[in-house]
Structure 1
Amino acid sequence: MSRRVVVTGIGFVAPGGIGQGAVWDNIRAGRGAIRRVTRFDPTGYPSALAGEVDGFNPTDFMPMRLARKLDPYTQYAVAASQLALDDGRMDLERVDRERMGVFVGNCFGGWDFTDRELRKLHTQGVKEVSPFQATSWFPAAPQGQISIHFGLRGFSKTVCGERASGHIGIALAARSIASGQCDVSLAGGAEAPITPFTYLACGTEGVLVGPDTPADGAYRPFDAGRRGLVPAEGAAFLLLEELTHALERRAPIYAEVLGFGLSNDACHPALLPPEERHLSVAMRKALEDADVTPDAISYVLADGLATPEGDRQEAAALRKVFGSERRVPVSVPRTMTGHLYGAAGALDAGLAALSIQHGEVPPTVGTRTVDASLDVSLVTETTTPERVDHVMLNGRGSGGLNASLIISRFARA
Structure 2
Amino acid sequence: MSTRTVITGISVAAPGGLGTEQFWKSVLTGNSGIGEIARFDASGYPSRLAGQILDFEAKDHLPSRLLPQTDISTQYALVAADRALADAEVTPETLPDYDMGVVTSNSLGGFEFTHREFNKLWSQGPEFVSVYESFAWFYAVNTGQISIRNTMRGPSAALVGEQAGGLDAVGHARRTVRRGTKLVLSGGVDSAFDPWGWAAQLAGGMVSTVTDPARAYLPFDAHASGYVPGEGGAMVVVEDADSALERGAPRIYGEISGYAATFDAKPGSGRPPGLRKAAELALADAGLTPEDVDVVFADAAGVPGLDRAEAEAITGIFGPRGIPVTAPKALTGRMYAGGGPADLAAALLSIRDGVVPGTAGTTQVPAEYGLDLVIGEPRELPVRTALVLARGRWGFNSAVVVTAPRN
**TM-score, with normalisation over the residues of structure 1?**
0.95
Instruction: Tell me the CA shift for residue 351 of structure 1.
Output: 1.0
Q: Structure 1 residues 273 and 294 mapped into 2: Cα distance closer, same or farther (>3 Å)?
A: farther
- Say whether residues 1:407 and 2:402 are aligned partners: yes
Q: Percent identity?
A: 38
Which residues in structure 2 correspond to 1:219-368 (within 5 Å)? Answer: 219-251=217-249, 252-267=251-266, 276-324=272-320, 327-368=322-363
Distance, in Å, in 2 between the alignment partners of 1:2 and 1:224 is 47
Query: Which one-letter code corresponds to 1:36 in the other structure?
Result: E
Instruction: Give the alignment of 1:159-238 within 5 angstroms.
Output: 159-180=159-180, 182-210=181-209, 212-238=210-236
Tell me the equivalent position of 1:371: 366
Q: How big is the shift at 1:275?
A: 6.7
Q: Which amino acid is the alignment partner of residue 246 of structure 2? A: E
- The one-letter code sitting in structure 2 at the alignment partner of 1:187 is S
Amino acid aligned to 1:87: D
The answer for unaligned runs of 5 or more in structure 1 is none
Q: Which amino acid aligns with 1:300?
A: V
**Does the residue aligned with 1:240 lie in a helix, a strand or coil?**
strand
**Equivalences, count:** 405
TM-aligned CA distance change 1:10 to 1:33, over 3 Å: same
Distance in structure 2 (CA, Å) of the matches to 1:277 and 1:37:
33
d(CA) in 2 for partners of 1:352, 1:16: 17
Q: Deviations over 1:250-269 (max 9, x none)?
A: 2111111110111111446x
Letter in 2 for 1:328: I
Contiguous gaps of at least 5 residues in structure 2: none
Q: Counterpart amino acid of 1:235?
A: G
Equivalent residue of 1:407, what SS? strand
Cα distance in 2 between the residues matched to 1:354 and 1:250: 21
Q: Supply the RMSD in Å over aligned alpha carbons.
A: 1.5
1:60 and 1:104 map into 2 onto residues whose CA distance is 23
- 1:377: Cα distance to partner? 0.7
What does residue 64 of structure 1 align with? 64
Asked whether the 8 Å contact 2:388–2:400 carries over to 1, the reply is: yes
Could you list the per-position Cα deviations for residues 265-314 of structure 1 after superposition, in whole angstroms to 9, with x for gaps in the alignment? 1446xxx9867431111010000000100011101000000111000100
Distance in 1 separating the partners of 2:270 and 2:206: 17
Report the Cα distance in structure 2 between the residues aligned to 1:345 and 1:86, rounded to whole angstroms. Answer: 22
Please state how far the C-alpha of 1:179 moved relative to its aligned partner: 2.4
Given that residues 73 and 235 in structure 1 are in contact (C-alpha distance below 8 angstroms), is that contact kept between their aligned partners in structure 2?
A: no
What is the letter of the counterpart of residue 240 of structure 2? E
Contact 2:102 2:155 survives alignment (8 Å): yes
More divergent stretch after superposition (44-53 vs 402-411): 44-53
* Secondary structure of 1:94 counterpart: coil
Look up the SS of the partner of 2:10 in the other structure.
strand
CA contact (8 A) 2:92 2:152 kept: no
Displacement after TM superposition at 1:213 (Å): 2.5
Q: How far, CA to CA, are the matches of 1:109 and 1:58 in structure 2?
A: 18
Matched, 1:395 2:390: yes
Looking at structure 2, the residues matched to 285 and 314 of structure 1 have their Cα atoms a distance apart, in angstroms, of 16
Contact kept, 8 Å, 2:265 with 2:271, in 1: the verdict is: no
Q: Which amino acid aligns with 2:44?
A: G
1:384 aligns with 2:383: no
CA distance in 2, matches of 1:317, 1:273: 18
**8 Å contact from structure 2 (residues 91, 150) kept in 1:** no
Whether contact under 8 Å (2:2, 2:240) holds in the other structure is no
Structure 2 residue identity aligned to 1:109 = G
Superposition pairs for residues 21-60 of structure 1, below 5 Å? 21-60=21-60
| 2: CA distance, partners of 1:93 / 1:27 | 35
Deviates more, 1:124-133 or 1:43-52: 43-52
Please state how far the C-alpha of 1:62 moved relative to its aligned partner: 2.0
CA-CA distance at 1:2 after TM superposition: 6.0
Distance, in Å, in 2 between the alignment partners of 1:7 and 1:391 is 14
Alpha-carbon separation, structure 1, partners of 2:169 and 2:272: 24
- State the one-letter code of the partner of 1:315: A
Secondary structure of the residue aligned to 1:68 is helix
Once residues 164 and 117 of structure 1 are traced to their aligned partners in structure 2, the CA distance between those partners, rounded to angstroms, is 29
Distance 1:53 1:292 in 2: 37
Displacement of 1:42: 1.4
Residues 12 and 219 (structure 1), Cα distance of their counterparts in 2 relative to 1, 3 Å cut: same
- Output the CA distance in 2 between the equivalents of 1:216 and 1:143: 35
Q: Helix, strand or coil for the counterpart of 1:92? A: coil
